[in-house]
């Protein structure tokens, strides 16, 4: 009897030790992940900083768009850059409406690039920033539980280990919202440039569809709303590399014509700057300017748009 009781006690203690070990491991993993997010991710979180700028700024001179604007326009001259990578027309329209709800618009730069009408963009579901909602305003005990961090947490750990236990972003985010990047596309050999440009061109292919028509209508509505509010609007097709222009060819001409026609109809200026940067060392990849290129281009963009 004693032997049976003793064996049972030993088994229970062993089980308790196993459960305690896994519980302790889980607690350590949670605390370590939260520390990673707080100490390594948040201080250089471009998205969080972007949202802060969006919520705080009251500047009437604004640039809207995706990564080409975010990386290619060094605001300054009174402008704030409210563009952010991978966003489409719906995000631009939402930001413009939100920003100018009670603010009189001044000079407004709207990105006007054909890839806005590519399927990968049109199929992306639009959602307003949750950070601007009342529900999100309540303080969070654990930042790692926020959806955008939770899904990226494994990637954070992988990069943290690969980079020698120090997450260090090479992107410089300015106080005016620009995301300036390093990189030298011209440093690649010509074949690598061509292959990268072709891959991007394939992704950016557009064609007639109901989704394209809907996106064009949304762009027109955004443009007309800004003009009606008194904004001085300029549509801009941003610089791309020579390899990218060659890869795209004439396939995007219909969309370029759309932007030209809408600018003329609305009585605003359209600047086709796709080939305006001849120095290929000023590109980080086939269709984005690097920091040096953005600084050079931005000097002429404002004057080209607004005189």
Quick one: which H or E segment has residue 215?
A: helix 210-228
How does pLDDT run along the chain (307 residues), one tens digit per residue? 555 667 777 878 888 889 888 888 988 988 888 888 787 877 778 888 999 999 999 999 999 999 999 999 998 889 999 999 999 999 999 999 999 999 999 999 999 999 999 999 999 888 888 876 555 555 567 777 877 678 778 888 887 888 777 777 789 999 999 999 999 999 999 999 999 999 999 999 998 899 999 999 999 999 999 999 999 999 999 999 999 999 999 999 999 999 999 999 999 999 999 999 999 999 999 999 999 999 999 989 999 999 8
pLDDT in tens, 70-97: 999 998 889 999 999 999 999 999 999 9
- If one counts every other C-beta atom within 10 angstroms of the C-beta of residue 275, the result is 12
CA-based radius of gyration for the chain: 25
| Cα 260 to the center of its chain, rounded Å | 25
* Residue 163 pLDDT: 78
Distance set, CA 112 to CA 2, 103, 258, 261 (Å)? 83, 23, 9, 12
* Residue 296 pLDDT: 95
Residue 103: exposed, middle, or buried by beta-carbon count in 10 A (0-12, 13-18, 19+)?
A: middle
pTM for this model (two decimals) = 0.84
CB 287 within 8 A of CB 183: no
CA–CA dist 73, 84 (Å, integer): 11
- Tokens 């009585």 identify what position? 267
* Residue 2 pLDDT: 53
| Cα 134 to the center of its chain, rounded Å | 23
- Tokens 């979180």 identify what position? 45
CB 53 within 8 A of CB 40: no
CA–CA dist 63, 110 (Å, integer): 6
Nearest Cα to Cα of residue 256 among 230, 236, 286, 239:
236
- If one counts every other C-beta atom within 10 angstroms of the C-beta of residue 301, the result is 24
* Residue 7 pLDDT: 73
């Amino acid at each position: 009897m004693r032997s049976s009781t003793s064996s049972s006690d030993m088994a229970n203690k062993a089980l308790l030790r196993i459960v305690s070990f896994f519980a302790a491991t889980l607690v350590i993993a949670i605390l370590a992940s939260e520390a990673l997010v707080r100490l390594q991710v948040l201080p250089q979180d471009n998205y969080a900083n972007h949202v802060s700028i969006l919520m705080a700024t009251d500047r009437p001179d604004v640039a809207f768009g995706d990564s080409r604007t975010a990386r290619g326009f060094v605001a300054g001259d009174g402008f704030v850059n409210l563009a952010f990578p991978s966003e489409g027309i719906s995000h631009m329209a939402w930001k413009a409406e939100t920003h100018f709800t009670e603010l009189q618009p001044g000079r407004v730069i709207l990105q006007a690039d054909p890839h806005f009408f590519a399927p990968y963009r049109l199929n992306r579901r639009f959602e307003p920033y949750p950070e601007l909602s009342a529900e999100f305003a309540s303080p969070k005990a654990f930042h790692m539980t926020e959806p955008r961090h939770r899904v990226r947490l494994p990637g954070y750990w992988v990069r943290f280990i690969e980079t020698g236990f120090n997450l260090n972003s090479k992107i410089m985010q300015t106080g005016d919202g620009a995301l300036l990047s390093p990189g030298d596309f011209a440093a690649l050999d010509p074949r690598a440039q061509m292959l990268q440009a072709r891959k991007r061109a394939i992704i950016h292919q557009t064609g007639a569809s109901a989704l394209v028509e809907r996106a064009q209508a949304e762009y027109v509505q955004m443009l007309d709303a800004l003009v009606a509010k008194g904004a001085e609007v300029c549509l801009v097709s941003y610089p791309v590399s020579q390899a990218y222009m060659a890869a795209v060819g004439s396939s995007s001409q219909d969309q370029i014509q759309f932007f030209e026609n809408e600018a003329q109809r609305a009585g605003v200026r359209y600047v086709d700057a796709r080939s305006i940067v001849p120095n290929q060392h000023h590109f980080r990849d086939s269709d984005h300017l690097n920091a040096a290129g953005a600084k050079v281009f931005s000097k002429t963009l404002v004057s080209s748009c607004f005189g």
